[in-house]
Copies of this chain bind each other. A is one copy, B any other.
């Protein structure tokens, strides 16, 4: 058999090395379960769209996706008369385009505002680099309204983020909240030309990394006067408690010309912060950070980024925002939405590499029933079923290896408890529980086994 396949390279293709060992996969499943529980507690409902869409759907937002889209074709192209070239297909590269298509496909069957979560795999044919995957799982929520959508949905997002990251216990984090209208409004009030705003945003986004002087220089090169760039820097460095920041912003607004957009941004930010507060989010979990310049292209209001304190180099671990023109595309309606996204595949790899999270044991089993005497196998099977009926995950050992090897296998699998039943125990209708971590041994009547195991788990 080996000879048949010995020349086959069975390694994963580059960029698809997302495969996890069992204990890591169980950790991912635990994170998925936790995220899902929080999403569902706010009434978000699951959907899943296929990995494959028509190319024209994937390309509907202009050509921005073209350089990352994978197209798929049957390896052996038969003459399939039912398919024309307009049936070209590709793999989805995000969940937003598919959400827009899903809404259009099922418009009359959905209830709005439509609050959905989605945890599908997405595919990006990018140049492979460390930490960048060509397939990965994204955990997204979005609420989408028809025509309008309350800002209180924006306020729920930080509450959801805070609850998830508290539950997975990865240390202190900070949710940075801003509003696109505040930043854009300030540029506008300062007289920056609309077509320059985009490049200005990109420049100020580098402030953290390159420092004030380089930002000023870059702004000057774009044609921003020194006076204006001073005001921009001053603005970006506004800090303090959320109330202090809101106060300083309001004061700035009073000094600006054409401050409509700026003021609307502040009003929105204020309303969102008020909601976040009513939702009981701890005040050391969030702040206003005006330098967030994420995805200006489609975000139109509230924006979020989340930083793991002490691990700022990981980048934002959960981001999102409010958009107006993103998901109504195919339905041909105005459908404002607000959403957040966790890039789970990448995040989990980072958290494992940084030692912030550890893999779980490599099996869900908590108990191994050992095989001492093959003629007692029916007892071992019955005892295993007894425990399973009480919700306990059990591996029954079927090999006839020496007991030491059986304990070793349990240990390697991370199973904490072993059950030993030899002829003596069988006669007495008892069993011995061995706690692998401590070596402790407990003899119990079979009648009390379930109760005793439940205490030990």
Binding site for B on A (CB under 8 A): 1-2, 4-6, 8-14, 16, 18-22, 25-26, 29, 40-57, 60, 66-76, 78, 80, 82-83, 86-87, 89-91, 101-102, 104-106, 109-111, 113, 115-116, 121, 123, 125, 127-128, 134-135, 150, 152-153, 156, 159, 274-275, 278-280, 325, 328-330, 332-334, 362-365, 377-378, 381-382, 384-385, 388, 391-396, 398-399, 409, 412-413
Contact = CB atoms under 8 A, between A and B. Distances in A.
Given A10-B105, A70-B72, 6 more contacts: A8-B330, A14-B83, A19-B49, A25-B45, A40-B393, A278-B381
Contacts of A87: 13-14
Contact of A72 (B12, B19, B78, B91): B91
A2 B278 contact: no
A14 B88 CA distance: 11
| Pairs of residues from A and B, 5 with the lowest C-beta to C-beta distance, nearest first | A2-B332, A43-B395, A150-B398, A43-B365, A74-B125
Query: How many protomers of this protein does the assembly include?
Result: 2
B75 A73 contact: no
A382 B13 contact: no
Contacts of A91: 72
A113 B413 CA distance: 11
Contacts of A409: 111
A48 B26 CA distance: 10
A364 B45 contact: yes
B43 A102 contact: no
22 contacts: A1-B332, A10-B54, A10-B60, A19-B47, A19-B48, A19-B106, A21-B110, A22-B47, A22-B110, A22-B116, A25-B47, A26-B45, A26-B46, A45-B364, A55-B75, A67-B75, A68-B74, A69-B76, A71-B73, A72-B72, A156-B396, A279-B384
